[in-house]
Amino acid sequence: MNVLLFENRFDAGLKLAEQLQIPDNAVLFAVPRGGVPVAYAVAVEKELPLDLVVVKKLPAPWNPEAGFGAMAPDGTVFWADTLGGRVSMDTVVEVGRKVLEEVKRRERVYRGSSRYPDLFGRLAVVIDDGFASGYTAARGASFLRWLQPERIWCVAPVCSEKALKVLREFCDRVFCLHVSRELPFAVASFYADFHDLTDEEVLAYLQDLRRRGLLLTEES
């Protein structure tokens, strides 16, 4: 049975920062929304720059908490063929359309007109509040590869054993404080407070990082 490990996402980020040894050339990429408080805590503790990689899972029609893939800001998709013929391709296309709309909206609200940075010679670190399937972080890592980082890490407080295996194919290192073999796996089960963050909460974290000189994205 899963046990509570963290009070909230910020607490998870602090615990992550305590255990994670990370080089000075790293750039952190939070997956919004849930990954932002986690990455914020790591950025502040380690004094490392932070950006966002706006990727989002493709929710399964029969269970919004489950995913069958994920989409990047450029509309490219990481596809896991787990639908098993349960829904039509028209439904899959409609799910993708809605997810892309939300990805573009988050890009506009959180990153404004900022371009993603050149990562040549840098370590890119994708951070989320947990890796359930690993699909979202995998899509984020694949998207960041185009920016030519030296290495890519995927980091989270908790992850499933399945996600660990998936992400090892996309990242140079996967680091999780707790790897769970329990099924079904739910990231929320490890947190006392796992509320859905609002745009306002995300923007407040970003504004504080900007004040500290740790935010890479510019004002739109």
Rounded Cα–Cα distance for residues 46 and 43 (Å): 5
DSSP per residue, 144-197: HHTT-BSEEEEEEEEEEHHHHHHHTTT-SEEEEEEEE--SS--GGGGBS--PPP
Q: Give the H/E segment covering residue 125.
A: strand 123-127
Total Cβ atoms within 10 A of residue 104: 13
Q: Taking the model in full, what pTM does it have?
A: 0.92
pLDDT digits (tens, 9 = 90+) for 153-196: 999 999 999 999 999 999 999 999 999 998 888 999 999 999 99
> What is the CATH number that goes with domain 9-211?
3.40.50.2020
Q: Which residues pair with 6 in a beta bridge?
A: 191
Q: Where are the domains of the chain?
A: 9-211
Q: Alpha carbon of 207 to those of 3, 112, 114, 143: distances in Å?
A: 33, 13, 15, 25
pLDDT digits (tens, 9 = 90+) for 15-33: 999 999 999 999 999 999 9
